[in-house]
Amino acid sequence: MNTANKLTMLRVLLIPAFLVLLYLDLRYAALVVFIVASITDFVDGYVARHYNQITDFGKFMDPLADKLLTAAAMVWFVEVGMMPAWALLLVITREFSVTGLRLVAVDQGRVIAAGWSGKVKTASTMLAICLMLLPIPTLLSDLCVWVIVLTTVYSGVEYFIVNRDVFRSVS
């Protein structure tokens, strides 16, 4: 397993530790784990591209690891009343929809790479989650939820508009 894939697996392995710390009410420790896991996302992408370590495993597991990490945090936020369930549902719907779009495209021999708005969505979501793990005012926490929702919806709509031709050849 190459370095990039090891970093991706580290991110996946940090998710249970992150959740345990949250449930033990050790938010600052959970925040540190979340930050480390988030940093592995950026580092493994850099390592994979810079050292030509792009693999099928990495193409599959890297975005899945991101989704699992951010969803774990958002599920906890819903549970403790910091995020409405409809917001999480929007995020999950976007993720499944874009994944479905990519699967249809792959069936046509086409790969849909992560777009700029998807990268902005991931980075802003991770930053918003970090802020929400701090003792911030409710108004700022609500603003973080709206940043997550708006970047999620925008990037999802953009993926479908830019790649609408994928559905023209679906019978």
Q: What is the pLDDT of residues 92-137, one digit of tens each?
A: 999 999 989 988 988 888 887 778 999 899 999 999 999 999 999 9
**pLDDT above 90 covers what percent of the chain?**
68
pLDDT in tens, 50-66: 888 887 777 778 888 99
pLDDT value, residue 171: 59
More confident residue, 19 or 168: 19
114: left (phi over 0), alpha (psi -120 to 50) or beta: beta
Token readout for 21 is: 């710390």
- The CATH number given to 3-168 is 1.20.120.1760
pLDDT value, residue 169: 66
pLDDT value, residue 138: 96
Q: Are 4 and 58 in contact (CB under 8 A)?
A: yes
Contacts of 131 (CB under 8 A, 6+ apart): 140, 141, 144
147: nearest Cα among 93, 95, 91, 73: 91
Q: Are 29 and 21 in contact (CB under 8 A)?
A: yes
Instruction: Please provide the average confidence, as pLDDT, over all residues in the chain.
Output: 92
